[in-house]
């Protein structure tokens, strides 16, 4: 199967980062909640950076913000999964089911999207796109109404959002959001257009890519969630409109963010039908023996490091390989009690237990690869004197194909085999381990980096967006 690889959308990290953390929602039980005071139910704005987790086609799932206290006027900004994912407004006044969703489908699990849900029901108009608007990455979206639903609400309707009632971020009824949120703003009483450089977002001066911009919220229920306090993920950085956490822990604070986008496992590159969760870092394997990839290939320069938490000893291959090849025949990594390197068995009879940490270190410049277990590194002769910091005694050395064609690979063998990957975004593996650094369980070997966009080499063309602008042709 050809790899479905995605170039992560983000800006390089810098010293003036506005956003340094995100919050992970598991899609099954995690959410934030707060009882709002009576606010402006006709006019409001929700802005957030969103990184998608599950792409499963379940109808009307992925609620971002909703009033959830009553039988009517519920719903709110959501991710519509039926035929999606699409960003949507949803509202249910007395069972009429108003829904407007983007015509565009957003299915990139590697990208951070900036999304603004704009609402002003006082607007006079009959176009069908007057009172609800959605902006993605600063661009106003074309909207449509799904079959069986009504369009935008009538003029001057009071929305459920901003009612004096319980509101939740991440769920409505049983519809839970799966993925990451960062830099969440709610503006009570103003419909704010996300003008680049002014409201919510700005362009990086070097790359031209979008990145967060500080904004001052207003209104009775206005809030800003920056997720910087792992002990209080619902803290309102703009004031006192704090949210309570449910199903969230300190380990759900993630390093992954719009200005430093980390590698994750890729549901679009999954021939095995495995179940992904926890922000696409946890995999529960199926019985279909086939490839599951990640969102980054090996970069062609520098040195790279990642870790895998072994939740059980059920059979699953962890390692790296290249296009169309299986780990045990052509790749590098561990399967069962065997360590493989380029088609050869390097070690047999490895003792493996639940809770082991498998490590990978790759020097792209030399092709040297080291595989470790609980901070002991194997060499090509089967010894445990591998030393990636010194660059000596690698587990294997890649000569062909070129390093840029090599991919991280998960190959499920037995149903239920569970692994948790960490490319630097979650050093605790969901709270299962203590961390030596801000990114990893073990301190990485010298000069080895996390697989994230902040560590990638500078692009040849710094401001790529300038070369994709639409220009009018003048034939003279």
pLDDT tens digits for range 212-232 = 999 999 999 999 999 999 999
**What pLDDT, on the 0 to 100 scale, is given for residue 95?**
64
Give percent of the chain above pLDDT 90: 74
pLDDT in tens, 295-315: 999 999 999 999 999 999 998
Contacts of 443 by beta carbon, 8 Å cutoff, 6+ apart: 436, 437
Alpha carbons 395 and 113: distance in angstroms, whole number: 39
Q: Each residue of 128-172: pLDDT tens digit?
A: 889 999 999 999 999 999 988 999 999 999 999 999 999 999 998
Tokens of 37: 């005071």
Work out the average pLDDT over 11-31. Answer: 80
Give the integer Cα–Cα distance in Å for 36 and 396.
58
**What is the model's pLDDT at position 70?**
59
Are 320 and 371 in contact, with CB atoms under 8 Å apart?
no
- Distance, in Å, from the CA atom of 398 to the CA atom of 392, rounded to the nearest integer, reads 14
Question: Does residue 383 surpass a pLDDT of 70?
Answer: yes
Beta carbons within 8 Å of 87's beta carbon, 6+ residues apart: 77, 78, 79, 80, 101, 102, 106, 113, 115, 117, 134, 136, 141
> What are the tens digits of pLDDT across the range 397-420?
999 888 889 999 999 889 999 999
- Judged against a pLDDT cut of 60, whether residue 432 lies above it is answered with yes
Eight-class DSSP state of 331: -
pLDDT band at 329 (very low <50, low <70, confident <90, very high): confident
CB-based contacts of 214, cutoff 8 Å, min separation 6: 18
> Taking the model in full, what pTM does it have?
0.93
Nearest-angstrom CA–CA distance, 29 and 266: 22
Highest mean pLDDT among 289-298, 321-330, 354-363: 354-363
């Amino acid at each position: 199967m050809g790899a479905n690889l995605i170039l992560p959308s983000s800006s390089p990290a810098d010293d003036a980062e506005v956003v340094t953390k995100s919050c992970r929602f598991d899609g099954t039980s995690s959410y934030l909640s707060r009882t709002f005071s009576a606010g402006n139910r006709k006019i409001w704005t929700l802005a957030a950076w969103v990184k998608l987790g599950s792409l499963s086609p379940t109808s009307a799932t992925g609620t971002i913000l909703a009033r959830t206290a009553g039988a009517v006027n519920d719903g709110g900004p959501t991710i519509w999964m039926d035929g999606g994912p699409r960003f949507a407004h949803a509202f249910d006044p007395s069972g009429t089911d108003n829904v407007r969703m983007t015509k565009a489908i957003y299915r990139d699990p590697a990208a951070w999207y900036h999304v603004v849900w704009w609402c002003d029901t006082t607007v006079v108009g009959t176009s069908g796109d007057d009172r609800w608007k959605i902006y993605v990455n600063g661009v106003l979206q074309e909207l449509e109404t799904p079959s069986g639903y009504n369009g935008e609400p009538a003029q001057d309707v009071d929305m459920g959002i901003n009612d004096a009632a319980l509101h939740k971020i991440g769920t409505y009824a049983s519809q839970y959001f799966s993925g990451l949120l960062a830099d969440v703003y709610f503006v009570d009483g103003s419909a704010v257009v996300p003008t680049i450089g002014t409201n919510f977002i700005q362009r990086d001066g070097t790359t031209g890519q979008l990145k967060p911009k500080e904004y001052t919220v207003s209104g009775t229920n206005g809030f800003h969630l920056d997720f910087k306090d792992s002990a209080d993920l619902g803290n309102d950085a703009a004031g006192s409109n704090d949210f309570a956490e449910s199903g969230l822990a300190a380990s759900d604070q993630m390093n992954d963010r719009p200005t430093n986008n980390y590698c994750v496992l890729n549901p679009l590159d999954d021939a095995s039908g495995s179940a992904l969760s926890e922000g696409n870092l946890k995999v529960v394997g199926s019985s279909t023996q086939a490839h599951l990839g990640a969102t980054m290939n090996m970069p062609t320069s520098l040195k790279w490091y990642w870790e895998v938490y072994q939740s059980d000893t059920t059979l699953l291959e962890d390692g790296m390989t290249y296009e169309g090849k299986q780990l045990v025949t052509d790749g590098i990594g561990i399967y069962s009690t065997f360590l493989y390197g380029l088609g050869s068995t390097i070690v047999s009879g490895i003792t493996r237990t639940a809770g082991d940490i498998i490590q990978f270190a790759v020097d792209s410049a030399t092709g040297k690869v080291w595989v470790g277990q609980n901070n002991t590194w194997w060499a090509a002769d089967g010894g445990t004197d591998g030393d990636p910091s010194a660059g000596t005694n690698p587990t294997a050395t890649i000569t062909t194909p070129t390093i840029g064609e090599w991919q991280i690979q998960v190959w499920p063998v037995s149903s239920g085999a569970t692994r948790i990957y960490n490319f630097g975004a979650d050093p605790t593996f969901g709270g299962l381990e203590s961390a030596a650094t801000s990114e990893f369980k073990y301190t990485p070997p010298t000069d080895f980096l996390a697989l994230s966009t902040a560590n990638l080499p500078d692009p040849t063309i710094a401001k790529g967006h300038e070369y994709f602008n639409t220009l009018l042709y003048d034939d003279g």
